[in-house]
A and B are shown apart, each in its own frame.
Chain A
């Protein structure tokens, strides 16, 4: 079945440290890839997306993600975490031929002072 996997339901980093949130998809044909962020009591909002072209994509709030076809991955990174980055992050995909967005289970990011 088509799915997307996020490794680690919780990630904790210190303020100023590197953020790395992992995402892998399950398809031989690369899907469209997205990262969404969800702050408490809010809906999801788009951080960034990869469709075609440059494999390193930059998003809002200093986040970026790199599409690696050989690893079927789309990990999210930020060089220096800020307290305001604490939220739930969802990797999502749209597989070829479809319009339905499939979400990973989410990773909750904690940022320690």
Chain B
């Protein structure tokens, strides 16, 4: 069964540094998402992406965040200047796009900002 893959599984960075989290969504999916889960807390929506542009973003997704689909397969989340509070598990997900389509998640990237 096709799956969403995320790399790296764990990223450690210093405060103020830029990080890029990478995802390869399922190949025939059309909508792509990033979610965040701070340790022990709920899964929070960050951004959705469709047709090469952001379709919706949350209040968390400020100017420090950006997403890109640089080629036909990768979907990246960039944090320009990381803060301690950016430490979390970041999940990429994709769907076919119908409104009732469930999300297919990757295994996540654990970002630790020191």
Residues of chain B having any CB pair with chain A under 8 Å: 4, 31, 33, 35, 41-45, 48, 50, 55-56, 91, 93, 95, 97, 99-100, 102-108
- Contact B42 A43, beta carbon cutoff 8 Å: no
| Cβ-Cβ contact count across A and B, 8 Å cutoff | 58
**Known contacts A99-B31, A105-B42; A43 and B102 CB within 8 A of each other:** no
Chain A residue with minimal CB distance to B55? A99
Interfacial chain A residues near B93, Cβ < 8 Å: 43
Interfacial chain B residues near A42, Cβ < 8 Å: 107-108
The 8 A-B pairs with the shortest beta carbon distances in the complex, nearest first, are A43-B105, A51-B100, A103-B43, A105-B42, A32-B100, A46-B102, A43-B107, A44-B105
**A 82-106 contacts with B by CB, 8 A:** 90, 94, 98-106
- Contact A98 B99, beta carbon cutoff 8 Å: yes
